[in-house]
Every structure is written in structure tokens, then in C-alpha cells.
């Protein structure tokens, strides 16, 4: 295993011949991740809502790229993306997300943060999994400890209980439980594919400008300038998880105080994010909500 203490983007191995799909690759951490992988020789697919913005971003990145439309807040769009995929996929990076929005709903009526950050990626991963050859990396957050700190199984849409922080925390907890159960299922099926998670620490990206509370938007704008690390530093845990020899279900984050900033390393998660029964229960619920089931056949 590589030395995690001072790992940087210059340590990214040659990715020539590898194909990566990155959701939300047109801005923020996704764009930085796409740029690094393309520079290392990978063919990078920008899976984005806005084809024009995605095309402009891909043009700036250069290298071998393509742009495909994907709206994670619309399961029909997720299925359309997956239906159009027909070749091996080395790396799926579930990067896109929304953060602390005013209460909204996806096209299918799910709470927007849970629906986009978790359900959209859950469906996409399962639909693409027969093509994945190496690993799935899902971008989580230290915020998985926020809010109630557990999945509200009685009502994941949080009707009558919605707050931007509670919903965001639940969606990020779901990302980690999804990774845990995905790895269990991959291992059980005898698949060599690995599921990993990463979080960027406190990184200055456009996500922090979308908070549902105007006062909090102002506070976060100030703390972004004073405390946050750059989006390039924030993308390092994702790139580390995408390229290094790590165990399945590993969780990567910054090594600094409070995991806010620093070089990528293996980090811990909350007890709730390590609960295998909650992970199984969430998986079953997610299959019911999305209509997308586990489809990977056992190897051998």
C-alpha cells in the first residue's frame, strides 16, 4: 500500500487505456478529478446535467474526453444514461451532489438531497455494475455525522422534519452505508471490483453557496476563505481512492486536524455508518424506491 502521508496528484499512476465515468464532472471537485485523470491518460466521461457546460469543461481539460447527459434527480435520466453504455468501465466516480438546499423534490418525488446524492447514484451504480472492471468510488462527507446521525427509515423524505443539515447528513450517511453493502455484495458474488468512499474535508467549492439559509451562506462564504482547502486539495482523497491499492469499503479523507484538510489517508466513520444491518436495510429500501435491483451474477 502506498504511503498516504504526503501523497499528491503527481503520484497518480499512468491511467492510459482506462475509462472513468465521473458524475458532476463539469465543476468543483468533479472537474479537478476529471482533469487529473485525463492528464494521467484516462478516457474521462463527463456525466453532467448540462451538456453545454459539460462540453466547455471537457474542452478546458483536454485529453481524451466525452460528455453524456445525466440528471441524478431524475431516475429516467439515470436509466437512459445506463442504457447507452455498452463497453467496459474501469472506474465509476459517484461525485455529483447537492448540499443543504431549501426543501425540494426530485422528478420522482424524493427529497432532493437523498434522491440526488444517494438514490441517483445507487441506481446508476447498479445499472452500470455489469460493465465495471475495477472500482466504484463514492464521494461522502464528514457531514454524515450531522443531523440525526441515522437514516430516517420511517420517512427518508423527512416530511415535516426537513432541515437542510438533517437532509444533507442523511444523504452522506447513505453514501457510506451504500459503499459498505455494495462491497459486501461484490465480495459475496466473487467479484474483483472494489467499492470505496472518500471525502474532501472542508473544500471550497460551489456547493457551499447553495445553503437554504441566507445567513449560513454568508457564514460559509467567510469560512471558505479562512479555513477551507482548495478544490484541488479536496479532490485528492477521491483520486487516492480511485488509484491506490486499498481494501474494499475503505474510506479516505484528509489527514489533518478534524479531517478538514491535508493529504489523503484512511479515516474512520461513525458507528451508524459502519452498521451492516442498517446498510442492508437501506439497500432494500433503495431497490424499492428506485425499482433498480442488484443484478451482478456470481462469478464462476
DSSP class per residue in 29-85:
HHHHHHHHHHHTT-EEEEEES-HHHHHHHHHHH-SEEEEEE--TT-HHHHHHHHHT-
Nearest to 141 by CA among 200, 216, 97: 200
Q: What is the rounded distance in angstroms from the CA atom of residue 186 to the CA atom of residue 28?
A: 30
Element of type H or E holding 134 = strand 132-139
Residue 251 known to be catalytic: no
Q: Please tell me the predicted confidence (pLDDT) of residue 125.
A: 98
Low-confidence spans in the chain with pLDDT less than 70? 1-5, 203-228, 300
3-state SS, residue 267 = coil
Q: Please tell me the predicted confidence (pLDDT) of residue 160.
A: 97
Q: How far is CA 138 from CA 64, 171, 175, 183, 241, in A?
A: 23, 12, 7, 12, 9
Q: What is the rounded distance in angstroms from the CA atom of residue 74 to the CA atom of residue 53?
A: 19
Element of type H or E holding 186 = helix 164-188
Q: Please tell me the predicted confidence (pLDDT) of residue 296.
A: 87
Q: What is the rounded distance in angstroms from the CA atom of residue 196 to the CA atom of residue 269?
A: 13
Q: Please tell me the predicted confidence (pLDDT) of residue 51.
A: 98
Q: Please tell me the predicted confidence (pLDDT) of residue 2.
A: 45
Nearest to 226 by CA among 249, 191, 202, 250: 202
Catalytic residue among 131, 162, 168, 202: 168
Residues 6+ apart with CB under 8 A from 21: 45, 47, 89, 91, 92, 93, 128
Nearest to 112 by CA among 125, 99, 94: 99
pTM over 0.95? The answer is no
Q: Please tell me the predicted confidence (pLDDT) of residue 217.
A: 47
Q: Which residues pair with 105 in a beta bridge?
A: 111
Q: Please tell me the predicted confidence (pLDDT) of residue 298.
A: 77
Q: What are phi and psi of 100, to 5 degrees?
A: 50, 50
Q: Please tell me the predicted confidence (pLDDT) of residue 213.
A: 55
Q: How far is CA 265 from CA 4, 41, 186, 201, 212, in A?
A: 5, 24, 23, 11, 32
Q: Please tell me the predicted confidence (pLDDT) of residue 214.
A: 57
| Contact (CB, 8 A) for 92 and 136 | yes
As given in the structure block, the three cell numbers for residue 200 are: 474532501
3-state SS, residue 107 = coil
Q: How far is CA 262 from CA 64, 170, 201, 230, in A?
A: 30, 25, 8, 11
Q: What is the rounded distance in angstroms from the CA atom of residue 126 to the CA atom of residue 194?
A: 13
Q: What is the rounded distance in angstroms from the CA atom of residue 60 to the CA atom of residue 240?
A: 23
As given in the structure block, the three cell numbers for residue 141 are: 462527507
Q: Please tell me the predicted confidence (pLDDT) of residue 219.
A: 45
Q: Please tell me the predicted confidence (pLDDT) of residue 209.
A: 45
Q: Please tell me the predicted confidence (pLDDT) of residue 261.
A: 87
Amino acid at each position: 500500500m502506498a504511503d498516504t502521508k504526503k501523497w499528491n496528484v503527481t503520484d497518480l499512476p499512468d491511467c492510459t487505456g482506462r475509462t472513468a465515468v465521473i458524475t458532476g464532472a463539469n465543476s468543483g471537485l468533479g472537474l479537478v478529478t476529471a482533469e487529473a485523470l485525463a492528464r494521467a491518460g484516462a478516457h474521462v466521461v463527463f456525466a453532467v446535467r448540462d451538456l453545454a457546460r459539460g462540453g466547455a469543461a471537457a474542452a478546458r481539460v483536454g485529453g481524451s474526453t466525452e460528455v453524456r447527459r445525466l440528471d441524478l434527480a431524475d431516475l429516467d435520466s439515470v436509466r437512459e444514461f445506463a442504457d447507452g453504455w455498452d463497453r467496459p468501465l474501469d472506474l465509476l466516480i459517484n461525485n455529483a451532489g447537492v448540499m443543504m438546499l431549501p426543501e425540494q423534490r426530485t422528478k420522482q418525488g424524493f427529497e432532493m438531497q437523498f434522491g440526488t446524492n444517494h438514490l441517483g447514484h445507487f441506481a446508476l451504480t447498479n445499472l452500470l455494475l455489469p460493465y465495471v472492471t475495477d472500482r466504484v468510488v463514492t464521494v461522502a462527507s464528514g457531514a454524515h455525522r450531522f443531523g440525526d446521525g441515522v437514516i430516517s427509515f420511517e420517512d427518508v423524505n423527512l416530511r415535516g422534519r426537513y432541515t437542510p443539515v438533517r437532509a444533507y447528513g442523511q444523504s452522506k450517511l447513505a453514501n457510506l452505508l451504500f459503499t459498505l453493502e455494495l462491497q459486501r455484495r461484490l465480495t459475496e458474488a466473487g467479484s474483483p471490483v472494489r467499492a470505496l468512499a472518500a471525502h474532501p474535508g472542508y473544500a471550497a467549492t460551489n456547493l457551499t453557496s447553495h445553503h437554504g439559509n441566507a445567513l449560513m451562506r454568508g457564514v460559509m462564504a467567510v469560512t471558505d476563505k479562512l479555513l477551507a482547502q482548495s478544490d484541488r486539495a479536496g479532490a485528492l482523497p477521491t483520486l487516492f481512492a480511485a488509484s491506490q491499492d486499498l481494501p474494499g469499503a475503505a474510506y479516505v479523507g484528509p489527514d489533518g486536524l478534524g479531517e478538514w484538510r491535508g493529504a489523503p489517508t484512511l479515516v474512520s466513520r461513525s458507528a451508524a455508518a459502519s452498521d451492516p444491518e442498517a446498510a442492508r436495510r437501506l439497500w432494500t429500501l433503495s431497490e424499492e424506491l428506485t425499482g433498480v435491483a442488484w443484478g451482478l451474477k456470481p462469478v464462476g
